[in-house]
Chain A
Amino acid sequence: MKQLSTKVTSNAHGQDSSYFLGWEEYEKNPYDETKNPNGIIQMGLAENQLCFDLIETWLAKNPDAAGLKKDGQSIFKELALFQDYHGLPEFKKALAEFMEEIRGNRVTFDPSKIVLAAGSTSANETLMFCLAEPGDAFLLPTPYYPGFDRDLKWRTGAEIVPIHCSSSNGFQITESALQQAYQQAQKLDLKVKGILVTNPSNPLGTMLTRRELNLLVDFVSSKNIHLISDEIYSGTVFGFEQFVSVMDVLKDKNLENTEVSKRVHVVYSLSKDLGLPGFRVGAIYSNDEMVVSAATKMSSFGLVSSQTQYLLSALLSDKKFTSTYLDENKKRLKIRQKQLVSGLEAAGVTSLKSNAGLFCWVDMRHLLDTNTFEAELELWKKIVYEVKLNISPGSSCHCTEPGWFRVCFANMSEDTLDLAMKRLKEYVESTDSRRMISKSSHERIKSLRKRTVSNWVFRVSWTDRVPDER
């Protein structure tokens, strides 16, 4: 027995086995239009593949940026040597302005308050290290991104206490749910250091309402705790309403430059809005100098490649590009989401009314045999193995109600999405007819299936797999 740390030997900090399984099955049998038309379609990956053409066009017109040149001169040496954890100033400036643009220039971001990190995965973990001791807790509204269990808790020793949200009000955060979570933490003898929200929400695909944001700001103000707003999807808002950032709320409540504003931190990344998860570009924005100072030093453990900082500083400094991109991105996401929503509707499936994100929060409760998570898992397996769609079950997102699934729409072509909807429709129709015929034998089969499926799923160990996609 090798003597490794307890972090290594105590597995699965909330890692959901079903997440593995769907992925594994997809990897074994991935859909390909020509080579494998009967394969599994990947709908569990929150990637934005809709606007690469815009970036590629820009790259072709601006070869210096990738070619490590400035005005035709090589700056390779300077970039190769640049490892300053304060980041490339031109890049932070361009990033700050991009973040402002996304918020309609209603708020300003000071580049000196930005800390770059290797993706928001790194940013979130770093913030935990800065704000919480091992054993301290952060409150998170459910359902939430499964990766948080690892990102926020694993190496930091921090705990997550859920703020339970329900479909009765579209999964919005209520004051009573917030209070309950806070009290639950106290019951568990955990010190609450803050709240973390993802806005727009993953997996809901909705923006937090002003009411929710005000509630959160008031709550952290009264309890003297932190509020982290992961705004990684801020550039994917395609609805009629504008995106309301926590920064907007601070401004509107005249809380800028107050003690409260020092406890509100924003996390950002270019992985979703620009579709560049491979480049590992994340950021922490904080009004607290000590947080910025500590996080900056901690960013040593996950700096952004200078080669990448330079490319993106050129890209984001091009205001003509950024404004066209943000506009086009919205349009294309909106069209694609509509296609998913209507495709689902044709199959008799509704989804939470969404106005952002790269996915829909889909209501398949009526397709469950029983109102249980076992039934949800069962349905999910059918969808993976029979319908051949990899979607994410709500339980993996800690949803308290069974039957909800996250279905992504921005990581495939229109035709593939069409096909996916067709397959789903066929399945639902055949299930409906099957149900009418074998309602009696149903009970018998259910108990059998429940046992084998659950055991099998949970027997899946900590196997290597691709990192969590949000």
Chain B
Amino acid sequence: MVLLSRKATCNSHGQDSSYFLGWEEYEKNPYDVIKNPQGIIQMGLAENQLCFDLLESWLEQNQDAACFKQDGQSIFRELALFQDYHGLSSFKNALADFMSENRGNRVSFDSNNLVLTAGATSANETLMFCLADPGDAFLIPTPYYPGFDRDLKWRTGVEIVPIQCSSTNGFQITKLALEEAYEQAKKLDLNVKGILITNPSNPLGTTTTRTELNILFDFISKHKNIHLVSDEIYSGTVFNSSEFVSVMEILKNNKLENTDVFNRVHIVYSLSKDLGLPGFRVGAIYSNDKDVISAATKMSSFGLVSSQTQYLLSSLLSDKKFTKNYLRENQNRLKNRQRKLVSGLEAIGIKCLDESNAGLFCWVDMRHLLGSKTFDAEMDLWKKIVYQVKLNISPGSSCHCVEPGWFRVCFANMSEETLKLALKRLKKFVDDETSKRSCQKSESQRLKGSRKKKITNISNWVFRLSFQDREADER
């Protein structure tokens, strides 16, 4: 037996087995319009595949960018040698401008306050290393991205305490929930170092409201030791950009520049969702705190962005004509595609969260399809959807949702036809279920007892699944 660290051997820091299962099943039987039309349709992957044509045509017209050339001259050598953890300044400038553009130029970003990292995964972990010690806690509103359990906790030793949100108010953060989470942390003897939100939210697909932001800012104004991290990775997916309020805007509008709050608010960004480039590993931390910038910059040594990629993207993002057009087109296409999913679901009698106005997914209410109001029933339903309906969607329990019956369904990672087919399949399933229910309402009591046993078997099976190799978490 080889002696490894606990980090290496203690599995699943909150890794949800259901996440595996859905993925594994998809991998075994992936849908393909020609080769495997009966396969499982992947709706658990928050990818943005709607605007590659725009990127590809830009590449065609600007071949120097990918081929290490500047004004026709080779700069291969310079790029090959460039490993400065301050990052390529032309890229940081372009990225800072792009972030401003994403916020309607209502705020501006100083590239000196930007730290580049290998994706937002790296950015979030690095921020934890900078802001918290092992055993400290961050408060995170539920439901949240399952990957946070690994990204924020695994190697850092930081704990997550959930801020429980409910469907009664569209899962918005309330002052009460925030204070309860804080009290809970204290009860657990954990030192709260900050709050982390994702805005726009994953998995809700909604922008954080001004009311919520004010609650958060009031809280951190009161508690002088607490940081606020706003992961704004989906900022460019807001269908109507005027609806997105970044924490940067609150800082500006509330004139907090000369207060201590200013240094305790940090933003995480990435090009994985807005530009659909998760493979290129481009993330960033933005902070007004010089010490955080300094430490995070050094830590970025452990996950620098390839200079080849920095150069390509600095050219792309410096092209303002391109970025302006892209942002607008992206928003439109996402909006249209989301509408198709929402109306398609409505036609089946399934509602999505009312306020959804962003993201690459919808937060779908399937509570009425549950056998009972339990997470076991949710798991039951989810397995049916994966195995029978052949759609891989993400169950709310994997996002730590407190209410069973909610699912995250992605819409931007497939063609329109595939989405139509997915909805068709789902409709058939719901119709079947509905007729089954009206026929067997009397028998349901008798069967419930035996079904419960079956659920237990399934739950055991799912949890017996060990930490096998699988694809990286998709947000």
Contact = CB atoms under 8 A, between A and B. Distances in A.
A144 interface: no
Interface string B46-70: 0101001001100100010011100
Given A59-B76, A77-B56, A121-B302, A466 B225 contact: no
B430 to A, nearest CB: 31
Contacts of B3: 131, 193, 224-226
Contact of B81 (A56, A136, A278, A311): A278
A376 B134 CA distance: 40
Interface stretch (A90-98, A232-240, A300-308): A300-308
Contacts of B301: 119, 121, 150-151, 467-468
Contacts of A136: 5
Contacts of B7: 129-130, 294
A259 to B, nearest CB: 7
Interface string A51-69: 0100110010001001110
Contact of B130 (A5, A125, A277): A5
Nearest to A292: B469
Interface stretch (A81-89, A99-107, A326-334, A424-432): A81-89
A1 B433 CA distance: 60
Interface in A236-294: 259, 262-263, 271, 275-280, 288, 290-291, 293-294
Given A4-B292, A6-B133, A290-B2, A279 B264 contact: no
B171 interface: no
A296 interface: yes
A384 interface: no
A2 interface: yes
Contacts of B5: 129-133, 136
A304 B301 CA distance: 13
A360 to B, nearest CB: 21
Interface string A222-234: 0011100000000
A301 B263 contact: no
B294 A118 contact: no
B129 A76 contact: no
Interface in A188-204: 193
A49 interface: yes
A159 interface: no
A53 B6 CA distance: 46
Given A263-B2, A276-B80, A291-B4, A84 B118 contact: no
A130 B3 CA distance: 9
A155 to B, nearest CB: 6
A464 B306 contact: no
B419 interface: no
B459 to A, nearest CB: 24
A37 B79 CA distance: 24
Contacts, number: 241
Contact of B49 (A77, A79, A86): A77
Contacts of B121: 300-301
Q: Place the interface of chain A in its size category.
A: 35 or more
Nearest to A128: B5
A298 interface: yes
Interface string A107-149: 0000000000011011001000111111010000000000000
Contacts of A467: 83-85, 298, 301
Contact of A278 (B82, B281, B467): B82
A47 B82 CA distance: 11
B89 to A, nearest CB: 13
Contacts of B200: none
A458 interface: no
Given A55-B76, A279-B306, A466-B85, A83 B279 contact: yes
Nearest to A301: B122
A278 B56 contact: no
B80 A277 contact: yes
A7 interface: yes
A305 to B, nearest CB: 4
Interface stretch (B249-257, B307-315, B324-332, B356-364): B307-315
A59 to B, nearest CB: 7
23 contacts: A2-B264, A5-B131, A7-B295, A8-B292, A77-B52, A80-B280, A86-B469, A121-B301, A125-B302, A130-B7, A134-B134, A155-B155, A275-B81, A278-B79, A278-B81, A278-B307, A290-B4, A300-B121, A301-B155, A302-B118, A302-B302, A307-B312, A467-B84
Given A2-B264, A66-B66, 16 more contacts: A2-B263, A5-B129, A7-B295, A52-B76, A67-B67, A118-B118, A121-B301, A121-B302, A122-B302, A131-B4, A136-B5, A150-B301, A155-B302, A277-B80, A290-B4, A294-B7
In the A-B complex, the 10 residue pairs with the closest CB atoms: A278-B307, A306-B279, A294-B8, A302-B303, A305-B306, A8-B295, A82-B279, A278-B82, A83-B278, A130-B8
